[in-house]
Structure 1
Amino acid sequence: MPSIYTIKPAFQNLLRPLCKWLAGRGITANQVTVSALLLSIMTGVLLALNPTNILMFLSLPLVLLIRMALNAIDGMLAREHAMQSALGAILNELCDVASDAALYLPFALLPNVSPTLTVFIVVSAIISEMTGVIAVQIGASRRYDGPMGKSDRAFVFGAIGLAVGVGVTPGPWLNWLFAAVLALTVLTVINRARHALLEASI
């Protein structure tokens, strides 16, 4: 199913000059991966400590964009500048789900927002990424199928952060949107598992 992930090659092309610049200065892929995690944790902590300061949520779209850029750069550094490592593979997967949790759980503290839905989204997101990784164990490729992959979640939560930050009051509309995100994330788990099984059977 369609996913924002499909535009990743074009995004990487835009970032390639910066990637080469970082490689030339000895910046490693793992350092970039950890930097993205630290940025996410710091932002998440600030949001959690100031849930009533809606202006704080204006920072979320920018932070998510920077995080997506860092995630693309660490992959390019690893593949194109001979920095691939077992540690890097582990950090890449663990830091992604930890970053998601850090950035999205603070939404549970917003007034009139269902904490249960927010937590379920984060948990299902972790399961969807785990499903993508498990595909490798059965002989398939790492699955990134949508419709609610990492990039799609970033887009949705970034848009919500922008809306809240400019003064749109959280309310039932946000719970309905979160319910849709949760349903699409569950569908993502199913799609990744199904495509992994199909690929492994070929």
Structure 2
Amino acid sequence: MSIYELKPKFQNLLRPLVQKLAKIGVTANQVTIFAMLLSIATGLIVFAFSSNPLILVIVPIVLFFRMALNAIDGMLAREHNMKSSLGNFLNELGDVISDTALYLPFAYLAGILEPLMLAVIFLAILSEMTGVMGVVIGASRRYDGPMGKSDRAFVFGVLAIILACGVSAGMWTSILLVVLILLMVLNIIFRITRALKEVKN
């Protein structure tokens, strides 16, 4: 199970906006680049003001906005004839760069074990790379859960809200990160095995 499975319903809500953006000449690549720059800027702001937990309030807002932008750029590409080879590069690299920019500042928060947070980020990158490898071997781009991109965004959004409310990080955050690590290892295994099965069939 993954929050990603709700994507079709989310896209239906966004479709009127996507049609308006296409009409005024907004391209899929422009949306992708904007989402990446927004994520980088947010990460830098959180890092710069990490001593004030309230700054984390912006993280779930940006994560949700970025999720909407990711859906919008895909719909512009597919439904308004904006697919391009450059767009494929921007889409995949943008996701990895955005995830890293948004999650890395958490490693510098008091009470967060940096090695665990860095392991989460590394596995997030590895998970997306594994998903892309499905296409390389002739399968589809794999988005299998658990703890895919949308799931990670949800977890870190909730974590940011809890920390912004004044709850101190500690043992509970370490346990959470360990659980995320284990789930992402499963994610990678599922993506590999299902891609291989898809090619075999």
TM-score normalized by structure 2?
Answer: 0.99
Instruction: Report what 2:71 is aligned to.
Output: 72
Instruction: Report what 1:59 is aligned to.
Output: 58
Equivalences for residues 5-24 of structure 1 within 5 A: 5-24=4-23
Instruction: Report what 2:148 is aligned to.
Output: 149
Instruction: Report what 1:186 is aligned to.
Output: 185
Counterparts of 1:168 and 1:35, CA distance in 2: 32
Counterparts of 1:180 and 1:154, CA distance in 2: 15
Counterparts of 1:67 and 1:168, CA distance in 2: 26
| Pair 1:160-2:159 in alignment | yes
Counterparts of 2:62 and 2:170, CA distance in 1: 24
SS in 2 for 1:97: helix
| Pair 1:104-2:103 in alignment | yes
Counterparts of 2:183 and 2:81, CA distance in 1: 36
Calculate the aligned-residue CA RMSD, in Å. Answer: 0.5
Counterparts of 2:104 and 2:172, CA distance in 1: 18
Q: What's the offset of the Cα at 1:168? A: 1.2
Q: Percent identity?
A: 56
Once the two structures are superposed, what CA deviation does each residue of 1:178-200 show, in whole Å capped at 9, x if it has no partner?
11011111110000001000000
Once the two structures are superposed, what CA deviation does each residue of 1:102-123 show, in whole Å capped at 9, x if it has no partner?
0001000111111101111011
Q: What's the offset of the Cα at 1:79? A: 0.2
Q: What's the offset of the Cα at 1:11? A: 0.3
The answer to whether the 8 A contact 2:107-2:113 is kept is: yes
Structure 2 counterpart of 1:43, one-letter code = T
The answer to whether the 8 A contact 2:111-2:168 is kept is: no
Deviates more, 1:44-53 or 1:142-151: 44-53
SS in 2 for 1:6: helix
Structure 2 counterpart of 1:64, one-letter code = L
User: Which runs of 5 or more residues in structure 2 are unaligned?
Assistant: none
Counterparts of 1:166 and 1:112, CA distance in 2: 15
Structure 2 counterpart of 1:199, one-letter code = E
Counterparts of 1:151 and 1:143, CA distance in 2: 13
Q: What's the offset of the Cα at 1:50? A: 1.3
Q: Across the two proteins, how many residue pairs are aligned to each other?
A: 201
TM-score normalized by structure 1?
Answer: 0.98
Counterparts of 2:38 and 2:16, CA distance in 1: 22
User: Which runs of 5 or more residues in structure 1 are unaligned?
Assistant: none
Once the two structures are superposed, what CA deviation does each residue of 1:134-171 show, in whole Å capped at 9, x if it has no partner?
01111100000000100000000000001111111111
Instruction: Report what 2:133 is aligned to.
Output: 134
The answer to whether the 8 A contact 2:36-2:97 is kept is: yes
Counterparts of 1:181 and 1:79, CA distance in 2: 32
SS in 1 for 2:197: helix
The answer to whether the 8 A contact 2:57-2:164 is kept is: yes
Q: What's the offset of the Cα at 1:130? A: 0.4
SS in 1 for 2:62: helix
Counterparts of 1:149 and 1:135, CA distance in 2: 15
